[in-house]
Amino acid sequence: MAEIEEIYGDPLIHPQREDYWGHVNPLGIRSCYDEGKRCAESLFMSYYREHGIPVKIIRIFNTYGPKMNINDGRVVSNFIVQALRGDNITIYGDGGQSRSFQYIDDLIEGMVRMMDDTPDDFTGPVNIGNPNEFTIAELAREVISLTGSKSKIVHLPLPADDPQQRQPDISLARNMLGGWEPRIQLRDGLLKPSPTSRRCFRGEESGGEARPARAKTRPQPIRKKRQTTRGLPLSHSSLPVQPVNP
Angle, to 10 degrees, between the axis of helix 136-147 and the axis of helix 195-202? Answer: 90
**Catalytic: which of 8, 20, 33, 47?**
33
Distance CA 132, CA 103 (A): 12
Phi, psi of 154 (to 5 degrees): -120, 150
Are the C-beta atoms of residues 39 and 175 closer than 8 Å to each other?
no
Q: In a 3-state reduction of DSSP, which class is residue 108?
A: helix
Greatest alpha-carbon pair distance for the chain in Å reads 63
The sign of the torsion formed by the CA atoms of 182, 187, 189, 192 equals: negative
For 19, half-sphere exposure in the C-beta direction (CA atoms, 13 angstrom radius) is 2
Annotation says 33 is catalytic:
yes
* Alpha-carbon gap, residue 68 to 121, rounded angstroms: 34
* Interatomic CA distance for residues 39 and 7, integer angstroms: 9
Q: Counting runs of H as helices and runs of E as strands, what totals does the chain give?
A: 7, 9
Instruction: Give the active site residues.
Output: 33
